[in-house]
């Protein structure tokens, strides 16, 4: 279908040019038009048959899905190989091997280990239950939100520097 639409303007241009030639020899014009129509028919006579997916049984749909997945994966692998070869050609051997190895190393499925973040010590503590603490990052805990709504100040819940060091040592 895409090819059919892509060739239409060129065909229309050819026909206008051929019509201008028609005054010279009508038989030659008819032969050329027949060739163009034959080529056009060959492009449009092979339409893909439409499947009624709603009416298909589940087993047939699953088989079709597996077949499509197989074809897609084969094409993707082939295109990837083709692009890797093109990359090698474009680099003409300069670090191309390392670039291809780098591409392959990313596809192995191994995830990078998570970056280690420094430990964050608590800065605020619930006076009624000292085990409830908050580092000051992220969403405020419920106990702090209710205390702030009741009229308290956030500084009232701040852990002193000496107590903060003590909590850090315990953990």
At CA 20, angle to CA 17 and CA 23, rounded to 5? 145
Q: What is the mean pLDDT of residues 76-101?
A: 80
Instruction: Kindly report the number of other CB atoms within 10 A of residue 89's CB atom.
Output: 10
Considering only CA atoms, which of 163, 85, 68, 67 is closest in space to residue 123? 163
> Which pLDDT tens digit goes with each residue over 108-131?
566 888 888 888 899 999 999 999
Give the range among 37-41, 79-83, 88-92, 156-160 with minimum mean pLDDT: 37-41
Report the distance separating Cα 88 and Cα 104, nearest Å: 14
For 15-42, give one letter per residue: b (16+ CB within 10 A) or e.
Answer: eeeeeeeeeeeeeebeebeeebeeeeee
Contact 114, 160 (CB under 8 A): no
The residue extents of the domains of the chain are 2-44, 124-170
For the question of whether the overall pTM of this predicted structure is more than 0.85, the answer is no
Alpha carbon separation from 170 to 105, 133, 134, 167 (Å, rounded): 42, 14, 16, 5
């Amino acid at each position: 279908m895409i090819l059919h639409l892509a060739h239409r303007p060129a065909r229309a241009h050819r026909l206008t040019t051929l019509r201008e030639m028609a005054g010279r020899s009508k038989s030659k014009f008819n032969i050329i038009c027949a060739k163009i129509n034959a080529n056009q028919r060959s492009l449009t006579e092979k339409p893909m048959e439409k499947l009624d997916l709603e009416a298909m049984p589940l087993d047939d749909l699953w088989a079709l899905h597996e077949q499509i997945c197989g074809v897609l994966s084969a094409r993707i692998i082939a295109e990837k190989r083709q692009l890797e070869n093109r990359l090698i050609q474009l680099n003409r051997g300069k670090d191309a091997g390392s670039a291809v190895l780098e591409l392959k190393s990313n596809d192995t499925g191994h995830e990078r280990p998570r970056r280690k973040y420094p430990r964050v010590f608590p800065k605020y503590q619930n006076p009624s239950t000292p085990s409830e603490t908050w580092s000051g990052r992220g969403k405020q805990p419920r106990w702090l939100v209710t205390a702030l709504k009741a009229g308290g100040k956030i500084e009232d819940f701040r852990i002193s520097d000496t107590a903060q060091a003590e909590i850090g040592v315990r953990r």
